[in-house]
Chains A and B, each alone.
Chain A
Amino acid sequence: MSGTPLLSLAIWVPILAGFVVLATGSDRNAPLARMLSLIGALAGLLVTIPLYTGFDLHTPAMQFVELKSWIPRFNVNYHLGVDGISMLFVILNSFITVTVVLAGWKVIDSKVAQYNAGFLIMSGLLNGIFSSLDGLLFYVFFEASLIPLYLIIGIWGGARRVYAAFKFFLFTLLGSLLFLIALLYLFVQSGGSFSILDWQQMPLGMAPQTWLFLAFLVAFAVKVPMWPVHTWLPDAHVEAPTGGSIVLAAIALKLGAYGFLRFSLPIAPDAAHQLGGLVIGLSLIAIIYIGFVALAQEDMKKLVAYSSIAHMGFVTLGFFVFSALGIEGALVQMISHGFVSGAMFFSIGVMYDRAHSRQIADYGGVVNTMPKFAAFFMLFAMANAGLPATSGFVGEFMVILAAVEYNFWVAFAAASTMIVGAAYTLWMYKRVVFGAVANHHVAELTDITGREFFIFLLFAAGALGMGLYPQPFTEVMHSSVNELLRHVALSKIQ
């Protein structure tokens, strides 16, 4: 396999497939467009598999590296590579793309080619983010990936889609500008290098570290999203089509968290230690405050969106307790959240496609008409509530345990999600699924189709597999996470 530019394939295969799909044009060719999209998505997934099988567990260094000059004048390179932190996200993203294409198979019937092309192109761009080792390249992918998502929400979204798309765009733009300034500062400071790896090794004083850290914090906090810059997410989710919600929750939210590990911690380690308390505080607010807000939601998508924010609070909390258990727990939580929230949004989509409502009050007794669906939904609800044997448990468990080591009361606050998380998830489940048939809309529901069953099966395999045997997921992280911790423990101030 050596020599095959796997990462380039992971990026460009889906993008190319996206353009091919786009070429099929109008909806007269919709079946062809769907088929080509599926082939493209599967091909995209296939090329990422060797990243796992060929991954060397024993080195913290970047693997599958590709380095070509791109803009020599500014020393910008097409520099790709993955380590134990980023590799799994490339695979997860390619996996999610397959489910998204399948999820939109029957439901999307206008501008089919454009819709699928949007997801394929976005998939490639997202892979680009996770594998970029050049700051400017990262930034280009980071910003470019906004465009397809913006369009997906703005074109195939719900009634208030334009408002949601704008809010989404403006929030993230705000962060991006600070991010760009930080990158340019680093470029100058490093004597003209855009290499992220160079930046990580570069000594920096406390003041610049602090400013850089804060700039990164704003940029990434919006993406994660962290309280208080999270309010775009529920709106974006509510208006996004099912596929958009799945990608948004499963992958897009991970970008910010990934940024913390790739930029904030290694580039500004002293500031990270100094300001870690701030991030932990914001994380705990996300977990508790947002948990209660989720409890009060009447719209299922909003509820799951808020629960996503609370779950991402665990991720940022895990990063800033500075232990292997915490960081790996956070990474596990990110991957698990990809399966579980993806599945939750898909579940809501399945109901929405039939009854055209997301309001909890419009449902009740769904189990009577959709027993198979109810069983899957139960599984994912339990995973969302962090039940052992599901992936949702593993990350939470690791982060809570790591937090106890850091500070008992931090863990105490974080562990409250055991109660609140179960409360909002299962209360919603009770009102939607259990009970007698509530109205004629519910009575007319039909159970899931073979296609939907298959998608659920994919998600279930992820959530259960990771819950029962997380070792294959964490063993690839060890070297990189340990190296990161070693690096972060050293001061950069000279």
Chain B
Amino acid sequence: MEMQKLYLLVPLAPLVGAAIAGLFCRVIPRWLAHTVTIAGVAVACLASYVIFKDVMAGNTYNGPVYQWLTSGDYHFEVGFLIDQLTVTMMLVVTSVSLMVHIYTIGYMQDDPGYNRFFSYISLFTFSMLMLVMSNNFMQLFFGWEAVGLVSYLLIGFWYTRPTAIFANLKAFLVNRVGDFGFILGIGLVLAHFGTLDYAAVFAKAPELAGNTTLALFGEGEGVALMTAICILLFIGAMGKSAQVPLHVWLPDSMEGPTPISALIHAATMVTAGIFMVARMSPLFELSNTALSFVIVIGSITALFMGFLGIIQNDIKRVVAYSTLSQLGYMTVALGVSAYSVAIFHLMTHAFFKALLFLGAGSVIIGMHHDQDIRNMGGLRKYMPITWITSLVGSLALIGTPFFSGFYSKDSIIESVALSHLPGAGFAYFSVMAGVFVTAFYSFRMYFLVFHGEERFGKAADHDAHAAHARTDAHDDHSAHGDAAAHHADDTHAEEHHGLAPGQKPHETPWVVTLPLVMLAIPSVIIGYIGIEPMLFGDFFKGAIFVDTEAHPVMEELAHHFHGAFAMATHAVTTAVFWLALLGVALSWFFYMKRPDIPAAIKSRCGPLYTLLENKYYFDKFNDVVFAGGARLLGRGLWKGGDAGLIDGIIVNGSVGLVRWFAAVARLFQSGHIYHYAFTMIIGVFVLMTLWVTRA
């Protein structure tokens, strides 16, 4: 009973914080807003830790909180499922969220929407916790949409910027495309299982999977029930976890303030899809078709989104494309039935990607809100903590041995190599090539930002700013980490970004650097500590189901594993390591030694560059075909159907008919007595004729 109260406390504490900061955002002082929300999240974090200990001791829980709705034979409940998978997610969510809350104090210091921002991120934490703690599909969907809502609100946080409010609408709608599939998947689950409760569905799944096909496309072969359900659910994951072709919203989501890019669009919300598929492992295991689909989508995302990272010049967008690519890695891992590896990478990624984003945010503060890496360089002298922590994050991202990312990413690559499902061959190529690409763009950014020539503070910058003006609109809402310096330097800085000529960047205050350090620690060690229990121990036993006979990837992987230390030392003999090193070396050579080479490549490979520049034309296609098409269709139906056909022809037509009839009838009512008299005489004559001839 005591534990159940604790379970309830975890989501409710951030909710209370969000409610206080949000409902009274115009009344309460700033310190109160951040205190209540941070306290709420801290409580949730501590409680999660206690629950983690408890679950480790073997106490899992699955039970309702309240009955949401009953209808017919169906029961929908709000309830919690607390197992190893849940507590892992709870710990990741609450601890990253806590760091981001603290960081926000510094980042949003000057923003007029300070209280509102804290309210939103706490509300997000609540929604995300409801999502991961759910024991049924209905609540999963609730959390799913609620995090989408908060993401929408936060991307559009600076609501006067045209780009921000474009991006948030886009994010919401693209996610809704995913949710469209998701809700149909849930519908199929309910229709065939009669319940939305995870445990009941999973228990019944193997039995139903064998003999149920859906005649979706007329009388014919039919689609296996599990394939249909899993692919539909996965379409939901594609929206939330930004898989091709529903990835288009994530890069634009960078319009939101950096702390939420770290929390929502890197560490937690975008991994909801990964979590969901892992949670549904008992269903996905029953459909090889669905798994292959997952593999292919994941590997396309992993590789092709990585390429886009190479040509980005906005520091946040580089990290965003890297997130897309890493989400692709996780998805591939799910597809090859290495669910625990996917969750493991989700966890390490949450820490090092949050670190990289917050590091980028720190750089942005130091640069006075210039985000263009071409204007940076040599920042290591001025921002030592940011520099070191960002280096740690980058090393973890590219999979340097002993760092957290190494363990998770290497395990993904190895498990892909071991899989025999259709699509795994392509996936292996993608993830291997992806290693090189990741290393290249990560260190391109790293070198351009922290090393080399100091390119900031030059008068010429301002041309670049003009080109960058999209993000410049309405800077009055922008955050400034170091208010004192900022105001002393340049009171007009509100209207343009970056450092004034001669001005130097500076390290950020402790509320910003503390979370960096706190995130750097797990970014290094969590892989080393976690790999053995999470991947090869029975940590996820009972939470994740793998059909080891059909998909023996994890078992085989275990054969190759001889301890975390051996794995790292062994790495130098693998191609993965050398690919990553090559990527780093090449980026050093290109951007530190011979900056003329990338420029030359750029001019030589014009069409390719244009393709990347336009992000494979996904956005343009969606704009023209879907957005434009829908508006055109709407207009056509309105003007042609409603106004033209229904009102014009049918309604007004019948009015016209009545009018015509009336006009004809009016002819008989001329008002002249002799007309009437004459008509009467004719009438009498006709009647008499009839009467006479009757006989």
A residues engaging B (CB < 8 A)? 167, 228, 231, 289, 292-297, 323-325, 328-329, 365, 367-368, 371, 378, 382, 387-389, 393-394, 397-398, 400-401, 403-405, 408-409, 411-412, 415-416, 418-420, 422-423, 426-427, 430, 433-436, 469-471, 474-475, 478, 482
Tell me the chain B residues, 119-163 only, with Cβ under 8 Å from chain A: 138, 141-142, 145-146, 149, 152-153, 156, 159-160, 162
Closest to A404 in B: B187
Q: 0/1 per residue, B27-46, Cβ < 8 Å to A?
A: 00000000000000000000
B69, A418: Cβ atoms closer than 8 Å: no
B174-232 contacts to A (CB < 8 Å): 176-177, 179-180, 183-184, 186-188, 190-191, 214, 216
A430 and B169: CB pair below 8 A? yes
Q: A295-B630, A420-B630 are in contact. Are A471 and B68 (CB under 8 A)?
A: yes
User: Could you tell me if A292 and B146 are in contact, using CB atoms closer than 8 angstroms?
Assistant: no
Docked complex Cα distance between A328 and B191 (Å): 16
**Complex-state Cα separation, A210 to B66, whole angstroms:** 44
Check if B641 is an interface residue, CB within 8 A of chain A.
Answer: yes
B587-601 contact mask (Cβ, 8 Å, vs A): 1 or 0: 000000000000000
When the two chains form their complex, are residues A415 and B180 in contact, meaning their CB atoms are under 8 A apart? yes
Contact of B216 among A408, A419, A422 (CB under 8 A): A408
Contact residues in B for A422 (Cβ distance below 8 Å): 172-173, 176
Contact, CB under 8 Å: A382 / B149: yes
- Nearest opposing residue in chain B for A403, CB measure: B187
Q: A292-B633, A293-B637, A382-B149 are in contact. Are A404 and B72 (CB under 8 A)?
A: no
Residues of A close to B190: CB separation below 8 A: 401, 404-405
B74 at the interface (CB under 8 A from A): yes
Q: Is the CB of B634 within 8 A of A398?
A: no
Does A426 contact B169, Cβ atoms closer than 8 Å?
yes
Residue in B26, B69, B179 whose CB lies within 8 Å of A474: B69
Q: Which residues from A are CB-within-8-Å of B474?
A: 436
Q: Which of B255-301 contact A (CB under 8 A)?
A: none
Interface centre among B71, B73, B214 (most CB of A within 10 A): B71
Q: Which stretch (B353-361, B400-408, B461-469, B644-652) binds chain A?
A: B644-652
**Are B145 and A435 in contact, CB atoms less than 8 angstroms apart?**
no
- Of the candidates A231, A418, A435, the one whose C-beta lies within 8 Å of that of B183 is A418
Q: Do A231 and B651 touch across chains, with their CB atoms under 8 A apart?
A: yes
Residue in contact with A434 in the complex, picked from B146, B159, B173, CB distance below 8 Å: B159
Q: Which residues of A contact B646 (CB under 8 A)?
A: 228, 231
User: Do A398 and B71 contact each other (CB < 8 Å), given the known contacts A405-B190, A411-B187, A436-B160?
Assistant: yes
Q: Are A404 and B635 within 8 A (Cβ)?
A: no
**Bound Cα distance from A430 to B67, whole angstroms:** 36
Taking a contact as CB atoms closer than 8 A, the residue among A292, A387, A397, A398 that contacts B637 in the complex is A292
Chain A binding site: helix, strand, loop or mixed by DSSP? helix
Q: When the two chains form their complex, are residues B183 and A471 in contact, meaning their CB atoms are under 8 A apart?
A: no
> Of A388, A419, A427, A430, which one neighbours B145 at CB under 8 angstroms?
A388
**Distance A392 CA – B124 CA, assembled complex (angstroms):** 21
Q: Please tell me if the beta carbons of A394 and B638 are within 8 angstroms of each other in the complex.
A: no
Cβ A289 vs Cβ B173 within 8 A: no
Tell whether B165 is near chain A: CB-to-CB under 8 Å.
yes
- Contact B71–A289 (Cβ < 8 Å): no
In the bound assembly, the distance between CA atoms of A64 and B637 in angstroms comes to 47
Q: Is the CB of A423 within 8 A of B67?
A: no
- Chain A: which residue is nearest B162 at the CB level? A435
| A434 lies within 8 A of B177 (CB) | no
List 27 A-B pairs, Cβ < 8 Å: A167-B651, A231-B647, A292-B633, A292-B638, A293-B641, A295-B634, A325-B72, A328-B71, A365-B160, A378-B153, A389-B146, A394-B69, A398-B69, A400-B184, A401-B190, A404-B187, A405-B190, A415-B180, A415-B183, A418-B180, A418-B183, A419-B180, A423-B176, A426-B152, A430-B165, A474-B69, A475-B70
Minimum-distance CB pairs A-B, first 3: A324-B72, A404-B187, A296-B634
Report the minimal beta-carbon distance from B433 to chain A, rounded to whole angstroms: 34
- Whether B637 pairs with A419 at a CB distance below 8 angstroms is no
With an 8 A cutoff between CB atoms, is B470 at the interface? Answer: no
| Contact flags B57-78 to A (C-beta < 8 A → 1, else 0) | 0000000001111111110000
Select A289's contact among B73, B160, B641, beta carbons within 8 Å: B641
Query: Which of A293, A329, A411, A418 sits near B176, CB closer than 8 Å?
Result: A418
Contact status B183-A400, CB under 8 Å: yes
Contact B191 A404 (CB under 8 A): yes
Chain B residue nearest to A420 (CB atoms) is: B630
Q: Give the residues in chain A near B184, CB-CB below 8 Å.
A: 400, 404, 408, 411-412, 415
Given known pairs A426-B173, A435-B162, the reply for A388 and B630 (CB within 8 Å) is no
Q: Which residues of A contact B541 (CB under 8 A)?
A: none
In the bound complex, residues from chain B placing their C-beta under 8 Å from that of A435 are: 159-160, 162, 165
Beta-carbon contact of B149 and A387 below 8 Å = yes
Q: Which residues of A contact B651 (CB under 8 A)?
A: 167, 231
Least distance between B164 CB and chain A CB atoms (Å): 8
Contact B180 A423, beta carbon cutoff 8 Å? no
Alpha-carbon distance between A427 and B169 when the two chains are bound, in angstroms: 7
Q: Which residue of A lies closest to B26 (CB)?
A: A371
A401 and B180 CA atoms in complex are apart in Å by 12
Which A residues are CB-close (under 8 A) to B642?
A: 231, 293
B631 on the A face (CB < 8 A): yes
CB distance from A331 to the nearest CB of B (A): 10
Within 8 A of A (CB), among B618-654: 630-631, 633-635, 637-638, 641-642, 646-647, 650-651
Residue of A with least CB distance to B650: A228
Nearest residue, chain B, Cβ from A473: B69
Among candidates B70, B145, B159, B634, residue contacting A292 with C-beta atoms closer than 8 Å: B634
Residues of chain B lying within 8 A (CB to CB) of residue A325: 71-72, 74
A297–B183 touching, CB < 8 Å = no
A408 close to B634 (CB less than 8 A):
no
Residues of B close to A228: CB separation below 8 A: 646, 650
Residue on A with the closest CB to B137?
A401
A162 to chain B, nearest CB (A): 14
User: Is the Cβ of A408 less than 8 Å from the Cβ of B214?
Assistant: yes
In the docked arrangement, what's the CA distance between A423 and B633, Å? Answer: 14
Q: How long is the Cα–Cα vector from A98 to B237 in the complex, in angstroms?
A: 44
The CA of A228 and the CA of B177, in the complex, are separated in Å by 28
